[in-house]
Structure 1
Amino acid sequence: MAHHHPENDSKYLGLNVNKGITRPPSINPYLRQVRKDYRKIYTAQEYAEGILKGDIAVLSQAVTLVESSKPEHQVVAQAIIEKCLPASGKSIRVGITGVPGSGKSTSIDAFGMHLIEQGHRLAVLAIDPSSERSKGSILGDKTRMEKLSVDKNAFIRPSPSAGSLGGVARKTRETIILCEAAGFDY
């Protein structure tokens, strides 16, 4: 007796539709609170006001403008920095470096959570080596800082070094100013 296979049936279309699953909850529940319309372009004054209020979404957009090579973005970025400069300079800055696999991200995650438990707000500017082909960041340190990446008192920004020497991206100083103005004290 021959076995009947669905593939041998003339009505078989080659695929089955299975009922899907419900949408899983967000990995980072805090993200839903800070998510805004990322395509909206604000004035320099609106960016500065958002940063000074500690709005993480606005801070992220402003950092993107600072890192941009477009001349029109640089004009707005410079104005934002000038407006935020008086509120900066009050943080403790720590630089961490090491060979790949030495535990930098794990150490930052543990130390950062300790600082947050002490009442501080932490900004991590992770400078990654850049891909010459894609011009993008390779390492993505944020994924290895599991606790910090979901804490509302932490801001983690991976940035490509884009060929800058010394392990610091070209716009790190400006990004620090914005983070300090947003209330990050480490």
Structure 2
Amino acid sequence: MHVMRGIESTHDGFVASSRKRFVKKDPSHKNLDVLQQEIENGSRLYLARGITLLESTKPSDKKVGQEVLTNLLPKTGNCIRIGITGVPGAGKSTFIEAFGLMLAEMGHKVAVLAIDPSSTLTGGSILGDKTRMEELARHKNAFIRPSPSAGTLGGVHKKSRETMLLCEAAGYDVILIETVGVGQGETIVRGMVDYFLLLVLTGAGDELQGMKKGIMELTDGVVVHKNDGANKPLVKKTVREYTRIMHMLQPASPEWTSRVQPVSSIEKTGLEAVWETVLEFEKEMKEKNHWDTRRQHQTRDWFHSMIRDHLIDSFFSESGRKTQVKALEEELLDGHLTVTGAIDRLFSS
């Protein structure tokens, strides 16, 4: 794929290669007003720069990023936030590209936050160098931002919420958040979005053997993917099976029955039906006053989560704490100390 070098490029490689150049070019961040204005005007280049500041571990960068975000908060919230997860091989990226392209062609501005697994050695993005969603990345109404999970539970970067808000301030009215699809990460994403979508493949019975019931209970909609070619008869059967299952579960959203829909991203079928369901969901939730209530609860939970993160960071930043923890770990593993005893010693010192 040819990587665009102009101001509107959002290709993963361009964003990554531009970070150091941005910071080096303006180390003092004196052009904060320009940055804020350009983001508000919809510049994808400056949006990428703003996100980089939010994700930075450098205090001066973080301060500027927070100031810009605070100033832009009144511009946020006017969007639909959709979380997308699925079992391995379900085709999340393929679906997101097809779905995003359809919305972009309709005139919507679509931001995709693709949360990549982090390297256990570097903390960087394993998938960041791979070319994904090429066609969507080139569309003028789309913005794709890969982000390393940096060790956060479930692969969701702790700054993903702030990234989402900055995208909204830039005028993106549909935010798609792709999860890595493992473990408790779905619960975190559920706490960030309005509508949570699960992608599955045919053969519900076998697939459910390895799928936690809890994940099913988080979903507002299920897409049975790859409804094309010889798969169609089996997809039809799978839709019936999942529909039966979803009716037996507690609804993820009040007064809403999760829909199960067949989709082929290759043949571009079923995508419009999924979008119509999302809009129906939005209308019902707003009419019944659940929409704003959920978002308020999410903001509160985010606040408490950040308090916990800050306390942990502060604890380990204290002089000698890491050495003390390591010494207690060795006593625990040697069988000379109970966990409760270790905690008592840790916090009594």
- Could you state the TM-score of these two structures normalised by the residue count of structure 2? 0.43
> Offset of 1:44 from its aligned partner?
2.8
Question: What residue number does 1:165 align with?
Answer: 153
Q: Mapping of 1:37-186 within 5 angstroms?
A: 38=22, 39-41=24-26, 42=29, 43-140=31-128, 143-186=131-174
Instruction: Give % identity.
Output: 52
Secondary structure of the 1:134 match is: coil
For residues 28 and 121 of structure 1, the distance between their equivalents in structure 2, rounded to whole angstroms, comes to 21
Contact 1:116 1:122 in 2 (8 A): yes
Alignment: residue pair count: 160
Measured in 2, the distance between the counterparts of 1:58 and 1:47 equals 6
Could you tell me how far apart the structure 2 residues matched to 1:58 and 1:33 are?
8
Q: CA deviation at 1:129?
A: 1.0
Pick closer, same or farther for the CA change 1:139–1:110 going to 2, 3 Å. same
Provide the TM-score with structure 1 as the length reference: 0.79
Deviations 1:130-167 (A, max 9, x none): 00212111123972212101111110000011111134
The equivalent residue for 1:34 is: 8
Question: Residue 112 of structure 2: SS of its match in structure 1?
Answer: strand
Larger RCO (alpha carbons 8 Å, 6+ apart): 1
Determine the C-alpha separation between the residues in 1 that align with 2:41 and 2:25.
Answer: 18
**How many angstroms does 1:28 deviate by?**
4.5
Distance in 1 between the 2:48 and 2:131 partners? 17
Structure 1 residue 99: Cα displacement: 3.3
1:148·1:154 contact (CA, 8 Å) conserved in 2? yes
Q: Is the 8 A contact 2:7 2:44 kept in 1?
A: no
Work out the CA distance in 2 between the residues paired with 1:163 and 1:184: 27
Contact 2:119-2:125 within 8 A present in 1 as well = yes
In structure 1, runs of 5+ residues without a counterpart are 1-25
In structure 1, how many angstroms separate the alpha carbons of the residues matched to 2:117 and 2:88?
A: 11
Equivalent residue letter for 2:74: P
1:85-143 deviations in Å (ceiling 9; x for gaps): 11010010001112333201000000000101111010001001100212111123972
Q: Distance in 1 between matches of 2:62 and 2:38?
A: 18
Secondary structure at the residue paired with 1:112? helix
1:148–1:182 Cα change, 3 Å: same
The answer for the alignment partner of 2:324 in structure 1 is none
Q: Is the 8 A contact 2:118 2:151 kept in 1?
A: yes
Contact 1:53 1:182 in 2 (8 A): yes
Instruction: Give structure 2 stretches of 5+ with no counterpart.
Output: 10-17, 175-349
Instruction: State the distance in 2 between where 1:65 and 1:145 align.
Output: 24
Q: How far does the alpha carbon of each residue in 1:10-32 deviate from its partner, in whole angstroms, 9 at most, with x for none?
A: xxxxxxxxxxxxxxxx8145x42
Pick closer, same or farther for the CA change 1:120–1:105 going to 2, 3 Å.
Answer: same
